[in-house]
């Protein structure tokens, strides 16, 4: 029951799905919420895959229309919560200032030119990747789409609990202070269960899923090393930017897999 409440907390904070229940926000339940991050990603992935499948198989829409609607659904499902972090972190990074100044820039509610440009690039690239592989989609593609938010949310939880906070305030620190790296023990179990299910039902997808997982692991290592150098640690905005950046790399990887592995 407590774990379910933790999952509902993640849905309440990181999606646009309305949760009417009043959920407890004590340290124990927030720790359960952090442990449920990958499950939230898995639910997102199942929704994206099912949505695209229904569009392509049961509607008269073209591949272009289906790609656009999936692209839009990815934004609307999360309410754009991580896109805000992407823009703020982009403004801070491209200011080429020191850590303290970058943290000040991220606190500024105004969006600068670099934030706007980075958002345009991010969303344009994502739409391009989605459209390209909907043109050559296979049944196995849906498995890869499901894995994208599952891996990115695992990266989010890993970064949150293994990188020091840049400041002791904000949503990121609130979640971070409620758990410890030891809370991540359940993440390998999720990953093992996911790989076993893929191996059982889609054995020929183990290699592509393994490549996708490797790309996510590289993103985790890169973000873990650079967040301290660039921002002095983790903030809510940096976490959001890391999720968006990881997912972009994973969409790119799925696109490349269709040309060089699945072709």
Residues 2 and 28: beta-carbon distance below 8 Å? yes
- pLDDT value at residue 74: 95
Per-residue confidence band for 1, with pLDDT thresholds at 50, 70 and 90: low
- pLDDT value at residue 157: 94
- pLDDT value at residue 263: 63
Q: Between vectors from CA 94 to CA 115 and to CA 242, what angle results, nearest 5°?
A: 65
Three-class SS string for the chain?
CHHHHHHHHHHHHHCCCCCCCCCCCCHHHHHHHHHCHHHHHHHHHHHHHHHHHHHHHHCCCCHHHHHHHHHHHHHHHHCCHHHHHHHHHHHHHCCCCCHHHHHHHHHCCCCCHHHHHHHHHHHHHHHHHHHHHHHCCCCCHHHHHHHHHHHHHHHHHHHHHHCCECCCCHHHHHHHCCCCHHHHHHHHHHHHHHHHHHHHHCHHHHHHHHHHHHHHHHHHHHHHHHHHHHHCCECHHHHHHHHHHHHHHHHHHHHHHHHHCCC
- pLDDT value at residue 5: 84
Per-residue confidence band for 258, with pLDDT thresholds at 50, 70 and 90: confident
- pLDDT value at residue 64: 95
The separation between the first and the last C-alpha atoms of the chain, rounded to the nearest angstrom, is: 45
Q: List pLDDT tens digits, range 195-253.
A: 999 999 988 889 999 999 999 999 999 999 999 889 988 898 999 999 999 999 999 99
Residues 85 and 239: beta-carbon distance below 8 Å? yes
Mean pLDDT across the chain: 91
Give CA–CA dist 256/251, Å, rounded: 9
Tell me how crowded residue 241 is: count the other CB atoms within 10 A of its CB.
Answer: 28
Q: List pLDDT tens digits, range 38-82.
A: 999 999 999 999 999 999 999 999 999 999 999 999 999 998 889
Q: List pLDDT tens digits, range 134-187.
A: 888 888 899 999 999 999 999 999 999 999 988 887 777 788 888 888 899 999
Q: List pLDDT tens digits, range 98-128.
A: 888 888 888 888 888 999 999 999 999 999 9
Residues 235 and 172: beta-carbon distance below 8 Å? yes
Q: List pLDDT tens digits, range 23-41.
A: 888 888 889 989 999 999 9
- pLDDT value at residue 107: 86
Chain centre to alpha carbon of residue 81: 11
- pLDDT value at residue 163: 92
């Amino acid at each position: 029951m407590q774990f379910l409440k933790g999952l509902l907390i993640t849905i309440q904070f990181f999606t646009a799905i309305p949760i009417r229940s009043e959920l407890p926000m004590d340290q124990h339940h927030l720790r359960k919420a952090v442990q449920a991050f990958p499950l939230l990603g898995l639910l997102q992935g199942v929704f994206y895959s099912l949505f695209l499948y229904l569009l392509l198989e049961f509607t008269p829409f073209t591949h272009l229309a289906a790609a656009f609607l999936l692209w839009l659904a990815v934004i609307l499902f999360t309410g754009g919560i991580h896109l805000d972090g992407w823009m703020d972190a982009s403004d801070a990074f491209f200011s080429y200032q020191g850590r303290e100044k970058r943290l000040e820039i991220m606190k500024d509610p105004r969006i600068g030119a670099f934030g706007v440009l980075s958002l345009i690039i991010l969303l344009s690239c994502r739409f391009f990747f989605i459209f390209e592989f909907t043109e050559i989609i296979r049944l196995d593609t849906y498995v890869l789409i499901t894995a994208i938010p599952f891996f990115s949310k695992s990266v989010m939880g890993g970064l949150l609990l293994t990188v020091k906070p840049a400041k002791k305030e904000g949503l990121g620190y609130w979640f971070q202070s409620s758990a410890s790296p030891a809370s991540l023990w359940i993440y390998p179990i999720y990953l093992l269960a996911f790989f076993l299910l893929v191996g059982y039902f889609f054995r020929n997808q183990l290699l592509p899923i393994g490549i996708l997982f490797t790309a996510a692991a590289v993103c985790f290592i890169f973000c873990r090393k650079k967040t301290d150098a660039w921002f002095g640690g983790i903030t809510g905005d940096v976490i959001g930017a890391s999720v968006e950046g990881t997912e972009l790399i994973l969409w790119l990887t799925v696109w490349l897999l269709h040309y060089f592995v699945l072709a």
